[in-house]
Amino acid sequence: MNSTRTLWAGLLPALALCGALLCTSLVSAQEATPETKKDEPAPAAKAEEPKAEEPKVEAKAEEPKAEAAPATTTTTEVLSEEVKTEEAAAPAAPAPLPSAAELSYAIDNMVLFICAVLVIFMQAGFALVETGLNSSKNAVNIMFKNYMDFVVGALLFFVVGYGIMYPGLDGSNDIIPDWFGFAQFGVAAQDPAQTPTIEAAHPLDSNADFLFQVAFAATAATIVSGSVAGRIKFPAYLVYTAVITGFIYPVSGMWKWGGGWLNQMGFIDFAGSLVVHAVGGFAGLAGAIALGPRLGRYINGKPQAMPGHNIPYVALGVFILMIGWYGFNPGSQLAFTGTANTQVVLLIAVNTTLAGCAGAVAAMCVSWPMFGKADLTFALNGGLAGLVSITANCHIVTHWESLIIGAVGGVVVITGILLLDKLQIDDPVGAFPVHGCCGLWAGIATGLFGTDAILSTQLIGSFAIAGWALATSLVLFFGLKAIGLLRVNAEEELAGLDICEHGMYAYPQNIVALDTVNSSFGSSGIPTHGHSMATKPSTESA
């Protein structure tokens, strides 16, 4: 009962207040009605009727708005959060397309990288040619040397050779101006902002350039392997490889490609007939002179045939070298985007093809009547001779001129082989005739046929590079000979360098061909240098 009284006591004031408000509203409505009717005859008054009530409508409307304000704010926040969620869930905008300059930079450097791989692949071709043209008892030794040419050569060229060959065109790093300099150990850091400019339309990434250059350095080194095959000590060859890739090749390379004195004279050697091939060829000649001929190669002044053990290896190797040459010569353009560069690269490729083919045919045609048989090895060496001959000038001669240059190269290589036999200089694979003689011919041919080439300048540059390689290599090889490190003894040579230097054979022992020599060398039976021919080396699987 008390609670009911209390309830009514609380409600009565509230009800009274509501009644008072209701009465006030009714009175206000009655007062507003006559005023509106007074204005009825005037159309303007009727038109203004909403305006007369507008303050009250706004007042009434403001009350629910004020009450609903929290709800409106909450809804807005929810919508904002949903929009944010949708934005977060939406996929990111696609990255902008690369500019023309970026595409040009990427294409130039990636094509150069592919060309570098092709030139490195040439190491396999050299290995097969040299192995096939030598005795089976030296196959492991020759393969090993060719592999070391690249791995040791790459390390030495990285550490010092690259810095010597490219000291910088401004001359700030030259020790002997235009003759010798040194930029840095290793390879310069990449430039993240490097893009083509007006001054440098086709800039090269430092790593791409190094890979291409180190492939050339290894090529110069591996040429010598064939000239000294079958009788050089393995440690001596490692020393030679380090010296040629770390010093001999980079110095003469700087004279031309590093902006040195030959380059300033206007000497032309586009892809390395002289800088690469002649250096390797004349270094090989020095090695062959210092070592002397293989046992039994010359008897009473007459050359004795010592045929290779696997001519298919030789043919396969030459095919690989031909393929690699499309990285060697066209890659030396160093720029591949744009109409002009594309056309030059394709001209180089066709000229390279034609010269190689012409050299092979010319060598076959000259040697066939001379020796009474069509000798595959002469044709293969002729093909290589044509390729070497066109390498210096492939960008500035016509197709017909490339045929002439290659064909003359095929004749030059046959002449070089015969000359070595007359001088009793033993070059088992003909490395000097192919790379040395035809390298010189390439330099001369550039002066005879090349656009804007000067013959006198070509002669100076060609003989300067060849003379440098020959002189420094003679000092190196005769120095090794003086300390007893150059040549294996007769017993080891007869047994084969595979078993004596490496403790293994490339083939099963019962089919390994051991060379026999004239009895004047005092050989009776087959020497084994302490190795039993009846027992397989431990490194050979059963």
Other beta carbons within 10 Å of 324: 25
Q: Which of 195-199, 252-256, 324-328 has the lowest mean pLDDT?
A: 195-199
If pLDDT is split at 50, 70 and 90, which confidence band does 85 have?
Answer: low
Percent of the chain with pLDDT over 90: 63
Going from N- to C-terminal start, the domains of the chain cover: 101-189+203-332+454-492
Distance CA 314, CA 380 (A): 8
Please give the residue that has the higher pLDDT: either 21 or 500: 500
pLDDT beyond 80 at 245: yes
Q: In percent, how much of the chain has pLDDT > 70?
A: 76
**Is pLDDT of 369 > 80?**
yes
Give CATH superfamily name and number for 101-189+203-332+454-492. Answer: Ammonium transporter AmtB like domains (1.10.3430.10)
What does the block give as tokens for 472? 């420094």
DSSP H or E run through 57? helix 49-89
Q: Which letter does DSSP use for residue 519 in this model?
A: G
pLDDT of 497 > 60? The answer is: yes
Q: By 3-state DSSP, what share of the chain in percent is helix, strand and coil, each rounded to 5? A: 70, 0, 30
What are the CB-based long-range contacts (under 8 Å, 24+) for 192-199? 194/105, 195/101, 195/102, 195/105, 196/101, 196/104, 196/105
pLDDT at residue 97, rounded to an integer: 81
pLDDT recorded at residue 512: 74
Give pLDDT tens digits for 156-197.
999 999 999 999 888 888 899 999 999 999 888 877 766 666
Angle, helices 249-256/206-227, rounded to nearest 10 degrees: 130
- pLDDT grade, residue 305 (50/70/90)? confident
Q: Which residues contact 160 (CB under 8 A, 6 or more apart)?
A: 182, 185, 246, 247, 250
Q: Above 60 in pLDDT, residue 481?
A: yes
Report the C-alpha gap between 204 and 42 in whole angstroms. 90
**Token digits of residue 272:** 């390395």
- CA separation for the pair 471, 453 (Å, rounded): 27
For 15, residues 6+ apart whose C-beta sits below 8 A from its C-beta are none
Per-residue pLDDT, 74:
54
Q: How far apart are CA 325 and CA 317, in angstroms?
A: 12
Segment among 451-455, 457-461, 511-515 with least mean pLDDT = 511-515
What tokens were used for 352?
């390279």
Give residue-wise pLDDT tens across range 197-218.
666 667 888 899 999 999 999 9
Q: What is the pLDDT of residues 401-418, one digit of tens each?
A: 999 999 999 999 999 999
pLDDT over threshold 80, residue 149: yes
- Pairwise CA distance, residues 406 & 274, whole Å: 16
Q: List the single range of 39-53, 261-275, 376-390 with lowest mean pLDDT.
A: 39-53
- Which of 43-57, 72-86, 501-515 is predicted most confidently? 501-515
Beta strands, E only, 231-301? 298-299
State the DSSP string of 327-344. Answer: HHSGGGG----SHHHHHH
Give per-residue pLDDT as tens, 29-38: 444 444 333 3
pLDDT band at 520 (very low <50, low <70, confident <90, very high): very low
Local confidence band at 128 (pLDDT 50, 70, 90 cut-offs) = very high
pLDDT at 95 (0 to 100): 73
Q: 298 has which bridge partners?
A: 303
Which band of pLDDT confidence, cut at 50, 70 and 90, is reported for residue 225?
very high
pLDDT-derived band at 80 (thresholds 50, 70, 90) equals: low
- Reported as a single tens digit per residue, the pLDDT across 12-71 is 555 555 555 445 444 444 444 443 333 333 333 333 334 434 433 333 334 444 444 444
User: Which residues lie closer than 8 Å to 210 by C-beta, 6 or more apart?
Assistant: 158, 162, 187
Question: For all residues of the chain together, what is the average pLDDT?
Answer: 82
Q: What is the rounded CA–CA span in Å between residue 119 and residue 112? A: 11
CA 501 to chain centre: 33
- Overall average pLDDT of the 441-466 stretch: 95
Give me the pLDDT at residue 28, please.
Answer: 47
Choose among 463, 431, 471: nearest CA to 269: 463
The residue behind tokens 């190689």 is 356
CA distances from 66 to 11, 62, 75, 77, 466 (A): 26, 6, 15, 18, 100
